Amino acid sequence: MGQLIHLSEAVSLAIHCLALVSVSEKSLNASTMARHLGASRNHLAKVLQQLVKHNFLSSTRGPGGGFTMRKAPGEITLYEIYELMEGKPEIEYCMAHGNECPFSGCVYGNIREKLTEEFVAFFRQRKISDIIPAIKPS
């Protein structure tokens, strides 16, 4: 069914990976993470690339290579990751058709703005370090 609160798989993958790399002693490669998360290796590789490009992770190629942290998990908020993968959350006009709407105030009131703000506040305050304790011992 429809997802009211839409968080793409890419965002989830990014967050999961950052936490996994944080707790790993040696560098972690894409295939291993994909296996652990039960996700597509290809999709995950794309996400990791982004995280490297924006300096959350370092990568090393070649045998024994993989990804390591470049920022401390306490320095990374979930919001940064969200915005990196999805862009700033916007409220679109109900029906993207401009200003044809015959209603003076939006029929939705300001509920979307309110919920978006709540979401952002939560994600800004929550850090990768906060979710690390939830990792199951493997």
Instruction: Note the residues at the interface with ligand FES (CB under 6 A).
Output: 16, 93-95, 101, 103, 106-107
Q: Output 27 or 116, the one with its CB closest to a second copy.
A: 116
- By CB under 7 A, residue 91 contacts DNA: no
Site of tokens 């506040």:
121
Closest approach of Cβ 98 to ligand FES, in Å? Answer: 9
Matching residue, tokens 């993968």: 85
- Tell me which DSSP letter residue 88 carries: S
Closest Cα partner for 34 from 67, 2, 4? 67
CB of 56 to DNA, least distance (A): 12
Choices 46-54, 57-65, 66-74, 113-121; region in contact with a second copy by CB under 8 A: 113-121
* From candidates 37, 54, 59, 132, binder to DNA by CB under 7 A: 59
**Residue 134: both structure tokens together:** 């939830």
Phi-psi region of 51 (alpha: psi -120 to 50; beta: other; left: phi over 0): alpha
